[in-house]
């Protein structure tokens, strides 16, 4: 567990949180949930994503679902209507992965800042 100071606030970053950030950075800040599962056998698999929404937000990680408000596919128009903004990263992710139900997305500026403070730039 490392404690870094970011924007005047202390942030606790565990080893699994650091691995999450590195996975997101390697996958251009958009990835499937299955990328964050560790373990060899089905019985011993665990997710390395933080379970608390506040910890996710502090790390700059968000989870978006393709089935938001009953839509089978999150089209750019529906995404813009639901969230008020249209992210090309989210749109491209769901276009290239049409069967994916949810995706993990990262804030590039926040993730890069945290990784540079940790000294774990890949």
The per-residue pLDDT for range 40-83, each reduced to its tens digit, is: 888 888 999 988 888 888 999 988 877 653 444 555 555 555 55
Write out the two tokens for 15. 């080893």
8-12, 34-38, 54-58, 72-76: which has the minimum mean pLDDT? Answer: 72-76
pTM: 0.81
């Amino acid at each position: 567990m490392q404690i870094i100071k970011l924007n005047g606030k202390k942030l606790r970053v565990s080893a699994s949180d650091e691995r999450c950030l590195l996975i997101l950075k390697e996958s251009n800040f958009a990835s499937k949930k299955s990328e964050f599962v560790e373990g060899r056998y089905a019985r011993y698999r665990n997710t390395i994503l933080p379970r608390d929404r506040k910890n996710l937000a502090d790390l700059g990680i968000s989870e978006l679902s393709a089935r938001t408000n009953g839509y089978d596919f999150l089209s750019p128009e529906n995404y813009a209507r639901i969230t008020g903004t249209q992210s090309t990263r989210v749109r491209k992710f769901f276009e290239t992965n049409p069967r994916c139900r949810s995706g993990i997305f990262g804030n590039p500026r926040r993730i890069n800042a945290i990784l540079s403070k940790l000294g774990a730039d890949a």
